[in-house]
C-alpha cells in the first residue's frame, strides 16, 4: 500500500474523520495517479473532486479491512476519477437472448436446474491459470464495453489448449468489429452466445498479433488468411454452484456473466469479494478459471477465481476472488463454453 494512503488510514483510525487526510496528501496522490493513467488523455481535465472522493472511500474501506471488518481491499485504478456512470461503461454484457436460448435448450433436453450433466466430482481447489491454460490479463479500455469479447476469447483459448496443446491468444478486436450482424454492438456491448455464433459461421478467428485490440469500434478487416482457430459449437452450463464447480474442472475456463455495476467491485483491490449487495441484473462478462477455500477464516471461506479485463492494475493482477456458495453476483446463471476444432 502507498505510504501516503496508509497515513490517511491512520488518520481515520485516530480521528474518525475523512477530513483528517490533508489536502497535500490528496493532491500528491492525484498527480501521481494522473501521471500514471491520464497524462496522455486529451479530454477535459480529470475531475480532482471525484478523485478526492474516491481516495476517501479507499481509505475508509482499507480501515475496515485492517480492522477485520471486510474480507477484501480497495485500491486506486485507472477509473478512480470517473463517475459511477462512466465506470459502468466497462459493463457491456447483454443477456436477454442468451438467457432465452439457454432456457429453450434446457427445456428441449428436459434438463432440470440441478445436477445437469453428471460431471465427475472435482478436487477441493483448482486453478486453470496455474495449469497454463490462460493467457495474460488484458485491458478493454476505459470506454469500450467489450467484456463479452474478452470472456469468450478466454474460454476459447482454454479449450484450444486442451485440444491442441498450444496456448494461443485470440483477437478480441475482431469480434468487436465483425460480429454486429449476429446481434452484438461493438463497444456498446454484446452477447456471449452471439460472439461464438459469429466465430462458427465466420469459419474462424485470428490471433491478437494479426488483429490487435484498440478499444474503439473499427471496420472489420478479417480475412481467411488470418485464421488461427475456430469453434464448432457452444453450450451452456446449468445448475447450482456445485455443478458449476464440477463443470469448470471438467471443461476448462468458462465465459460467465455476472452483476458488475457495483461500486465496491469497481474499487476492488484483493481478497474475497463478498458484498451482499451484489445481486441483480447481469451486465458484465468475465472468465471463470478456478476455485478454492480460505482455511484461515472461521469457518473456512469458499471462493471462485476469475479473470477480468480491466488491466493488471485492477484487483489481484487483473484477477479476483468471489465468495462461493450463495450465487453472489448471479455467478452461476449465465455460463457458456465453446467446442474448439
**What pLDDT is stored for residue 3 in this prediction?**
42
DSSP 231: E
pLDDT-based confidence at 42, cuts 50/70/90?
A: very low
Domains observed in the chain: 3-70 (no CATH), 90-340 (3.90.70.10)
* Active site (annotated) includes residue 164: no
**What pLDDT is stored for residue 149 in this prediction?**
98
pLDDT, tens digit (0-9, with 9 covering 90-100), for 306-337: 999 999 999 999 999 999 999 999 999 999 99
**What pLDDT is stored for residue 40 in this prediction?**
58
pLDDT over 90 percentage in the chain = 69
* Active site (annotated) includes residue 284: yes
**What pLDDT is stored for residue 34 in this prediction?**
87
Q: From residue 91, how far is each of 9, 103, 125 by CA, in Å?
A: 30, 23, 29
Q: Is it the case that residue 133 has pLDDT exceeding 50? A: yes
Alpha-carbon distance 136 to 154, whole Å?
10
Alpha-carbon distance 223 to 200, whole Å?
14
Whether 184 contacts 98, CB under 8 Å: no
Environment class of residue 204 by beta-carbon count within 10 Å: exposed (0-12), middle (13-18) or buried (19+)? Answer: middle
List 61, 77, 91, 147, catalytic entry: 147
pLDDT, tens digit (0-9, with 9 covering 90-100), for 169-226: 999 999 999 999 999 999 999 999 999 999 999 989 999 999 999 999 999 999 999 9
pLDDT, tens digit (0-9, with 9 covering 90-100), for 277-312: 999 999 999 999 999 999 999 999 999 999 999 999
Q: Which residues of 75-86 are buried (b: 16+ CB within 10 A; e: fewer)?
A: bbbbbbbbeeee
Q: What is the mean pLDDT of the chain?
A: 88
pLDDT, tens digit (0-9, with 9 covering 90-100), for 63-83: 899 888 999 999 999 888 888
Whether 14 contacts 57, CB under 8 Å: no
Mean pLDDT score, 227-240:
92
* Active site (annotated) includes residue 220: no
**What pLDDT is stored for residue 36 in this prediction?**
87
Q: Where are the alpha helices (DSSP H) in 225-275?
A: 241-251, 263-266
List 202, 207, 243, 308, catalytic entry: 308
List 144, 154, 284, 287, catalytic entry: 284
pLDDT, tens digit (0-9, with 9 covering 90-100), for 106-130: 555 544 444 455 788 999 999 999 9
**What pLDDT is stored for residue 81 in this prediction?**
86
Q: Is it the case that residue 31 has pLDDT exceeding 90? A: no
Query: Cα torsion at 5, 41, 208, 316 (round to 10°)?
Result: 10
Amino acid at each position: 500500500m502507498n505510504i501516503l494512503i496508509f497515513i490517511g488510514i491512520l488518520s481515520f483510525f485516530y480521528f474518525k474523520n475523512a477530513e483528517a487526510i490533508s489536502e497535500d496528501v490528496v493532491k500528491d496522490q492525484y498527480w501521481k495517479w494522473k501521471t500514471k493513467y491520464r497524462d496522455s488523455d486529451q479530454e477535459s481535465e480529470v475531475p480532482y473532486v471525484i478523485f478526492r472522493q474516491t481516495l476517501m472511500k479507499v481509505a475508509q474501506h482499507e480501515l475496515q479491512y485492517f480492522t477485520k471488518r471486510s474480507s477484501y481491499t480497495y485500491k486506486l485504478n485507472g477509473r478512480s476519477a470517473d463517475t459511477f456512470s462512466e465506470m459502468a461503461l466497462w459493463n457491456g454484457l447483454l443477456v436477454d437472448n442468451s438467457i432465452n436460448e439457454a432456457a429453450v435448450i434446457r427445456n428441449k433436453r428436459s434438463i432440470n436446474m440441478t445436477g445437469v450433466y453428471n460431471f465427475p466430482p472435482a478436487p477441493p481447489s483448482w486453478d486453470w491459470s496455474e495449469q497454463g491454460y490462460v493467457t495474460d490479463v488484458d485491458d478493454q479500455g476505459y470506454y469500450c464495453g467489450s467484456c463479452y469479447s474478452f470472456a469468450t476469447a478466454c474460454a476459447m483459448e482454454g479449450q484450444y489448449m486442451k485440444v491442441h496443446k498450444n496456448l494461443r491468444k485470440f483477437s478480441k478486436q475482431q469480434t468487436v468489429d465483425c460480429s454486429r450482424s449476429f446481434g452484438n454492438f461493438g463497444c456498446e456491448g454484446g452477447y456471449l452466445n452471439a460472439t461464438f455464433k459469429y466465430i462458427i459461421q465466420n469459419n474462424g478467428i485470428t490471433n491478437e498479433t494479426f488483429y490487435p485490440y484498440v478499444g474503439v469500434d473499427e471496420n472489420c478487416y478479417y480475412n481467411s488468411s488470418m485464421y488461427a482457430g475456430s469453434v464448432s459449437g457452444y453450450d451452456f452450463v446449468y445448475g447450482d454452484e456445485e455443478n458449476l464447480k464440477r463443470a469448470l474442472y471438467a471443461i476448462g475456463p468458462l465465459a460467465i456473466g455476472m452483476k458488475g455495476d457495483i461500486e465496491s467491485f469497481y474499487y476492488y483491490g484483493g481478497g474475497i469479494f463478498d458484498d451482499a449487495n451484489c445481486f441483480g441484473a447481469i451486465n458484465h462478462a468475465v472468465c471463470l478459471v478456478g476455485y478454492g477455500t480460505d482455511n484461515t477464516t472461521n469457518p473456512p471461506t469458499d471462493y471462485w477465481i476469475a479473470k477480468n479485463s480491466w488491466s493488471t492494475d485492477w484487483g489481484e493482477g487483473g484477477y479476483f476472488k468471489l465468495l462461493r456458495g450463495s450465487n453472489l453476483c448471479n455467478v452461476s446463471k449465465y455460463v457458456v463454453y465453446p467446442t474448439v476444432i
